């Protein structure tokens, strides 16, 4: 991860004030380390702790199928042109079963009607919510039919969570290392 000129990165525990190290520890434990958005969110330790707690649920405990969650994250990262989030989740999406063709299509902001139906509906939901600040009845009904009320709520929350991270990453200019997958 390249350094940002905007704020300090807290990738080492010692850089966090002693009274806030429990936030660092919780983030590191749930993710195997502190990097990316959490390294800069730790400039506000209470915020980092709360975001980390929510993120641990969204990322590791959500009822959404892994491939659907990861495609949602990639579509959100693409909508916000968030290079770091894309680089972090592109390999995870592949591992979760999202096809390379779908990943490339989302990276290129291709039309949803060229995707398989399930993926098209998911990407449409993300794009409508981010681009239009709302979701059409047809798109919502398709998501609710697939995931149920709890699942469509989690889908919407996942988009919101990763949109927030994209705002943090973009505003604070956190960029991926050059050897990570890049957005076109």
Q: Where are the domains of the chain?
A: 13-60, 66-170
Choosing among 2.30.31.70, 3.40.630.10, 1.20.1290.10, 2.60.220.30, the CATH entry for 66-170 is 1.20.1290.10
- pLDDT of 171 over the 90 cut: yes
Long-range contacts of the stretch 14-22 (C-beta < 8 A, 24+): 15/42, 16/42, 16/45, 17/45, 20/45, 20/46, 20/49, 22/49
pLDDT at 2 over 80: no
**Which tokens belong to 29?**
């434990």
CA dihedral 132, 182, 157, 28 (to 10 degrees): -160
pLDDT in tens, 86-98: 999 999 999 999 9
| Torsion, CA 68, CA 73, CA 74, CA 77, rounded to 10 | 160
Residue 63: pLDDT over 80: yes
Give residue 182's pLDDT: 85
Most confident of 7-21, 34-48, 128-142: 128-142
Q: Which of 168, 166, 161 is nearest to 183 (CA)?
A: 166
Calculate the alpha carbon distances from 117 to 13, 90, 114 in Å.
45, 21, 9
Count of Cβ atoms closer than 10 Å to residue 142 Cβ: 20
Residue 127, judged by CB atoms within 10 A of its CB (0-12, 13-18, 19+), counts as buried
pLDDT of residue 60: 93
């Amino acid at each position: 991860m390249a350094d940002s000129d905007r704020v300090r990165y807290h990738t080492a525990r010692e850089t966090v004030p002693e009274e806030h190290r429990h936030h660092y520890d919780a983030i590191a434990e749930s993710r195997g380390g502190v990097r990316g958005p959490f390294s800069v969110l730790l400039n506000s330790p209470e915020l980092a702790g709360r975001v980390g707690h929510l993120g641990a649920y969204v990322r590791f405990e959500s009822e959404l199928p892994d491939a659907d969650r990861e495609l949602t994250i990639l579509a959100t990262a693409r909508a916000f042109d968030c290079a770091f989030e894309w680089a972090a989740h592109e390999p995870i999406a592949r591992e979760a079963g999202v096809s390379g063709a779908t990943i490339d299509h989302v990276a290129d902001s291709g039309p949803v009607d060229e995707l398989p139906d399930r993926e098209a509906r998911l990407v449409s939901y993300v794009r409508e919510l981010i681009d239009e600040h709302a979701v059409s009845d047809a798109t919502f009904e398709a998501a609710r039919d697939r995931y149920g009320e709890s699942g469509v709520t989690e889908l919407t929350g996942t988009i919101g969570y990763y949109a927030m991270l994209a705002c943090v990453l973009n505003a604070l200019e956190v960029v991926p290392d050059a050897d990570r997958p890049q957005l076109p």
